Amino acid sequence: MKVIMAESYEDMSRRVAEIIASQISCKPKSVLGFATGSTPCGSYGELIRMYNEGKISFEDIIAFNLDEYCGLDGNDMESYHYFMKKNLFEFVNIQEKNIHIPNGRCKDIENECINYEKKIEEAGSIDLQLLGIGENGHIGFNEPDVKFEAHTHLVTLEEKTLKANSKFFNSYEEVPKTAISMGIKTIMNAKKILLLGSGEKKAEVLNKMIYGEITPNLPASILQLHSDVSIIVDKEAGKLLKKQV
């Protein structure tokens, strides 16, 4: 694992955007795995800036998002469909047909998960997967006690996650209790992984994830076994980390 210490959230966002831009430049038809949440917002802002300056094009990239809440429609402001639209997709030249996010309103969840996995496979697997990390060690919505062998699946969210994510809703009660998430196996199949961490709240979990035991109780710890993982943190999130692992 490579650990990159950024000076600040802005510096982290710039570096993440540069890595994504270089991936797109080397391979314009890249398959990119996107994340939602607070952490990647700055990086998406930087990507939009680079796009506006004519430095990158999203025309041929294929996007797969990590997860979506069950029960939310793409037009719901709290859905991850809406999040991606408003934080990135609406502002760049990505083609609608190349955007993939699990359908939280599907009638048959099992079928949706199988199809999602099939689409990733057909696209030729993910070239670069962006990840955030939950305070409980989740990646995507793979909560502690996850099955490492799981592909895209239905997950039940932990109270800690519901509380953390209630910042995006009017109240805690409104946060959906279940979601469809890429599984650990799906994430581990990505060729490159870029995990972002920002803020003091993430310092302890990042330390455990990198130097601690590999255990389903801390889902992100499995990334120790991936051959190409970069972790980019700001000063607060990285305060317990050594520079290189």
Q: Which parts of this chain interact with ligand F6R (CB under 6 A)? A: 35-39, 66-67, 132-134, 138-141
Q: Which listed residue (46, 65, 67, 87) is catalytic?
A: 67
- Cβ 98 to ligand F6R shortest distance, Å: 18
- Cβ 23 to ligand F6R shortest distance, Å: 19
| Closest by CA position to 130, among listed 200, 183, 63 | 63
> How far apart (Å, rounded) are the C-alpha atoms in residues 172 and 177?
10
Is 111 designated active site? no
Q: Which listed residue (18, 115, 135, 136) is catalytic?
A: 136
Residue placing its CB nearer to ligand F6R in the complex, 29 or 163: 163
- Cβ 55 to ligand F6R shortest distance, Å: 25
> How far apart (Å, rounded) are the C-alpha atoms in residues 180 and 199?
26
Residue placing its CB nearer to ligand F6R in the complex, 30 or 198: 198
Do residues 176 and 169 touch, judged by C-beta distance below 8 A?
no
- What per-residue string of b and e applies to 192-226 under the rule 16 or more CB within 10 Å gives b? bbbbbbbeeebbebbbbbbeeeeebebbbbbbeeb
Do residues 93 and 60 touch, judged by C-beta distance below 8 A?
no
> How far apart (Å, rounded) are the C-alpha atoms in residues 202 and 152?
25
Q: Which listed residue (65, 68, 112, 138) is catalytic?
A: 138
Extended beta strands in 60-167, E state? 62-65, 67-69, 99-100, 128-131, 153-156
* Nearest residue to ligand F6R, scored by beta-carbon proximity: 132
Residue placing its CB nearer to ligand F6R in the complex, 46 or 67: 67
> How far apart (Å, rounded) are the C-alpha atoms in residues 198 and 132?
9
Angle, vertex CA 157, rays to CA 107 and CA 197, nearest 5: 120
Q: Which listed residue (127, 143, 165, 234) is catalytic?
A: 143
Is 138 designated active site? yes
Residue placing its CB nearer to ligand F6R in the complex, 38 or 57: 38
- Cβ 37 to ligand F6R shortest distance, Å: 3
Is 165 designated active site? no
Residue placing its CB nearer to ligand F6R in the complex, 27 or 226: 226
- Cβ 139 to ligand F6R shortest distance, Å: 6
Residues catalogued as catalytic: 67, 136, 138, 143
